[in-house]
Every structure is written in structure tokens, then in C-alpha cells.
Amino acid sequence: MVQRFSRSMMLPVLLPVILGVAVLEGHAQTDGRLARRHIEELSDRIGSRLAGSPAEAAGADYIQSALEESGYAVERQSFAFGPEDAGRGRSLTSTNLIAVKPGESDLEIVVGAHYDSEVRGRGAGDNASGVGVLLEVAAAVRNQATPYSIRFVAFGAEEQGLAGSRHFVREMSPEQIAGTVAMINLDSLIVGELAYVYGDPGDAGVLRDWILARARQEGFDLTTQAGANPDYPAGTTCDCSDHAPFVEAGIRYAYFESTNWGLGDRDGYVQVDPRFGEGGRVWHTRFDTTEYIDATFQGRADQRLALFGRMLYLTLTEYMDR
């Protein structure tokens, strides 16, 4: 998730490139164990992945290897970002990684998660967690029948004004936009006190409502925000993550997140009791590590990975637009 105010860029901590893809036998697994291994590789070994840094590039290499191990061909879509510095010749480069799973229809669902992070912490929750679920479910559906084709995208430079997802949408043709059924965004999945899915306002939120109904059938405690803050209609969220450029292009969305809309300003930015993290925020802080998250919220990360992984798998293998 990107904050809604500008921040000065910070110099990255340079970390070694450590690859090694954990792929379990039987690609239909969506219990969170494979997602957990990916999180540990990205956050514990590679660490903080500031956009444009060698560590972010190491994250991209790891994700490409994981997708290839699952049988995908991977397209690397490079882009420049950093408009504040571009006039002085100091723009930076990042990469989106794209893998396509053909379905029974040429119409597509885009599943996206950003892999860059802030320099503080190690980006475990924000957003190795989203990438971990994306990679686990990409492996699980590789050989499964799906109603729609699926375009999995790991976005770079989300923390820099959604640069990766904005570039991806700019590169879409009108025909590709018209042929995209929905975008499903995965961001910050393992920390917050409640599990949420958001979508378009009111009756337009058919995908969100389908997911909520399906979650009830599965016995999952998944909810959406109730609209207590008048700035955010019930069932929606801020335009502060990678779904936003797709919404601007007229594409329906669903967005999985773990936070607590009942805290702070009731805008979803305070994730947990203010005793923890920095005033209830773990993302964008030094506390965004697997070590802190597991010690402080015991069992929560694994429970959320299983929940979101299962619901994403069911959505991709069952949902059909009406």
C-alpha cells in the first residue's frame, strides 16, 4: 500500500541476491505454506526492496524464477519512474513481471501484487505477503481449468506513486482493457486484525459480493468495510494501491487486505491495536518483518495466507461474470 502523501526517496541498503525457489509437490496447494516460503525468501533473505534498488531487482529475479518453476513463461516489462528527478537525468528503472495462464475464454482476470517495499523494515507484510499468495495460487491453477485467462503481474515501484501498475495500464490497448473482466489486487495480507475484500461501489461491486458470499460458504471470516467513514462508501477503499489505475481505466476490481477500519481515522491505515508497531501501523515501519509479525500476532500470518490463498483460488477457478 502506498501512502497518500509524498515522501523523499531514501538510499537503499544493498543486500546480496539470494535465489532459491520453494515449490511443493502438487501445484493445487493453497494452504499458505508455499506463500510463507516465498515471503521468507523475499523479506528475510533479500530484505528491504526499495524501488529502483539492486534489492528490488533481486526480488524481480526471484519472482521470475518462481513463476518459471511453476511452468510459466515470464515477460519482463521495464519502465522508468521518478518524475521529481527525471528533469535532472536521475530517473530510476523498475520492472513488472507478467505470466499468463490461458483459460476457457480469451477474456482475462488480472491478478496483481507489488514486490517493492519501503526501506524501513523488510517488507514482509507490505508486500511480500501479496506476492507470496500470488505465486502460490499461480502454481495451483497452472494445470487447472479456469473460466477466464489469468494474467499474473508482480508490480515494481508501487511505493513510488503506483508507478508499475500505472505503466502496465498505459501499455494496455483499448481491446485489452475491454477484454479484462476484473483486476484482483493483493496488498498487505498478514498483519491486520481483520481480513477484508473491497470492490466497486454499490451494485457494481459484484465480484466483491461474490467473494464475500463464497467465503461464507467456506466458513472464512472475511468482511468488507462498512462505510463508517463518509469518505469511503461501504465496500470500497482508497485509491492507494495497484487497483487504482485499473479503476481509472474502467476495469472492475477486488482487493484483498488485512487491517482494521474501526481504528484511527477509520480509513484502513491503522492495522492493529495502537500498542503495537508504530501507533498501530506495521507497514512502512521497522516492524514489518516476519520475526516481529510472528512473535506479536502468533498464528495470524499463516491463517491469513490460507484464507486469502483459498479465496483467490476459488475466485479464479469458479467466478464467472454475469
- What are the mean pLDDT values of the chain's consecutive 10-residue runs (322 residues total)? 39 30 48 97 98 97 98 97 59 96 98 97 98 98 97 97 97 98 98 98 96 97 97 97 98 98 97 98 98 98 98 98 80
d(CA 219, CA 312): 15
Q: What are the structural domain ranges in the chain?
A: 33-318
Among 240, 270, 245, residue whose Cα is nearest residue 258: 270
Rg (Cα) of the chain, in Å, rounded?
18
Q: Which CATH number, 2.30.110.10, 3.40.50.1110, 3.40.630.10, 3.40.50.850, labels domain 33-318?
A: 3.40.630.10
C-alpha cell at 122: 523488510
- Please list the residues that pair with 93 across neighbouring strands: 80
Using CA atoms, how far residue 255 sits from 7, 123, 186, 217, in Å, is 24, 19, 6, 19
- The pLDDT of residue 292 is 98
Q: What is the pTM of this model?
A: 0.90
Maximum C-alpha span of the chain: 55
- The pLDDT of residue 1 is 64
- The pLDDT of residue 313 is 98
- The pLDDT of residue 56 is 98
- The pLDDT of residue 131 is 98
- The pLDDT of residue 83 is 57
